[in-house]
Structure formats: C-alpha cells, structure tokens
C-alpha cells in the first residue's frame, strides 16, 4: 500500500510538471513565464532560496508564487491575481521616445493589464537632452 501511495505522488508531481511546461510554452507574457518557471523549479525540488538566485527575485516573492499555485493551481498565478501587496490605482505615465523596447511583445501584457491607468506621451528623441539642461 505504501508503494502505491508513492507511485501516486510521483505520477501527480509528474502531471503537475507537464502542466507547467505546457503553460510555459503557451504564454507570450514574460511575467507569466517567470511565475510558471518558479513553480516548475519548485516542483523539481529546488528550495526557494535557490530559485530566488536563479530567477533574480527575492525569496518572499518566490514563496508567494508557490503558495498561490498550491492554493489555486495555475489560476493563482494569473496576472490579474495579485500575489503580493495591493497595487496602486493611480495613473501611470509612460514616455515613449521611439526606443524599440516600447514596441516589444513583452510589453503587451503590461499594457493590456494597465490600459485604464496608462497615459502615453510621445516625445522627440532630442527632448531628454533639453530636459537635462534645466
């Protein structure tokens, strides 16, 4: 009976790892990929401290992601679900200066999540030089 329980645990862990790997393949969001990767490493047996060093986040954030996954599965990791302190509801001003990063796919999810709060300003390339004089 004990062997049966161990086999079930191994199979369950394997299916969770496969679910995370599939989610990592499907996402276009850098942030969601990072959250999935954190859980993937946790399921592989790494400690939060080690995961934090690998992904460049603090241990507390790693713990929040892992706990959110344990409580709600993949749904707990969704961007609309805050795993930390409440976010501000104030306006966000984003200055666009024609840098390539402002048109990157990675920003699409950020822009979508915050579209009600964003105020976009387009500035000429020379504008920062003018501001630096003052």
How many domains is the chain built from?
A: 2
Does 34 share its domain with 96? Answer: no
- Find how far residue 115's CA is from the centre of its chain: 18
**Residue 111 resides in a domain:** yes
C-beta pairs of 72-75 under 8 Å, 24+ apart in sequence = 74/19, 74/20, 74/23, 74/36
**Residue 84 resides in a domain:** no
Per-residue pLDDT at 38: 94
Per-residue pLDDT at 117: 80
Does 8 share its domain with 72? Answer: yes
Does 98 share its domain with 47? Answer: no
Output phi, psi for 94, to 5 deg: -120, 125
The strand pair at 92-96 and 118-122 is best described as parallel
Residues spanned by the domain of 105:
92-132
pTM summary value = 0.56
Which 8-state DSSP code applies to residue 66? H
Does 70 share its domain with 13? Answer: yes
Per-residue pLDDT at 134: 42
Give residue-wise pLDDT tens across range 117-129: 877 777 765 555 5
**Residue 99 resides in a domain:** yes
| Cα atoms in the 13 Å half-sphere on the side-chain side of 87 | 12
Does 68 share its domain with 96? Answer: no
**Residue 82 resides in a domain:** no
Does 39 share its domain with 73? Answer: yes
Return all residues near 42 (Cβ < 8 A) that are at least 6 apart: 48, 51, 62, 66, 69
> Would you say 15 and 31 are in contact if contact means Cβ atoms under 8 Å apart?
no
Does 15 share its domain with 71? Answer: yes
State which residues of the chain have pLDDT below 70.
1-10, 81-89, 102-103, 106, 124-134
Does 67 share its domain with 8? Answer: yes
**Residue 86 resides in a domain:** no
Core vs surface per residue 15-32: b (16+ CB within 10 A) or e: ebeebbeebbeeeebeeb
């Amino acid at each position: 009976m004990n062997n049966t329980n161990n086999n079930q645990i191994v199979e369950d862990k394997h299916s969770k790892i496969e679910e995370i790997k599939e989610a990592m393949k499907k996402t276009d969001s850098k942030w969601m990929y990072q959250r999935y990767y954190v859980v993937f490493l946790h399921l592989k047996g790494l400690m939060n401290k080690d995961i934090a060093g690998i992904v460049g986040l603090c241990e507390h954030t790693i713990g929040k992601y892992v706990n959110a996954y344990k409580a709600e599965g993949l749904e707990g990791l969704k961007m609309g679900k805050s795993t930390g302190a409440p976010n501000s509801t104030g306006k966000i001003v984003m200055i666009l200066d024609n840098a390539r990063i402002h048109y990157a796919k990675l920003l699409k999810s950020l822009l979508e999540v915050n579209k009600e709060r964003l105020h976009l300003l387009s500035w000429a390339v020379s504008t920062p030089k003018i501001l630096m004089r003052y």
